[in-house]
Amino acid sequence: MREHLFHQEREFYLYETPPKKVVNQMTANLKTLRMAPSGSLWFAWTDLEQTKWSDGLFLHMERIRDKII
């Protein structure tokens, strides 16, 4: 997943909410996390108290272009 980020060196985490629950199994698929057939994951930088849209570029669109359906 890190290879698809615009800033690959920056630490991040994924979480679901409410209530806020950090996903610790970064290699798990959505079915294993009980998020299939529907669910939402949120992205956050670990060095910020709260990540906002204005906190930068997240995904490197050129790197994921072939994965978008």
Q: What is residue 47's predicted lDDT score, i.e. its pLDDT?
A: 92
Q: What is residue 26's predicted lDDT score, i.e. its pLDDT?
A: 81
Residue 62 host element (H or E): helix 61-64
pLDDT in tens, 13-69: 999 988 989 999 888 888 888 888 888 889 999 999 999 988 888 888 888 888 776
28 by DSSP, 3-state: which?
coil
Query: Rounded to two decimals, what is the model's pTM?
Result: 0.73
For residue 62, which phi and psi values (nearest 5 degrees)?
Answer: -65, -35
Q: Which residues pair with 12 in a beta bridge?
A: 45
Q: Are 52 and 26 in contact (CB under 8 A)?
A: no
Residue 16 host element (H or E): strand 12-16
Q: What is residue 22's predicted lDDT score, i.e. its pLDDT?
A: 93
Q: What is residue 58's predicted lDDT score, i.e. its pLDDT?
A: 86
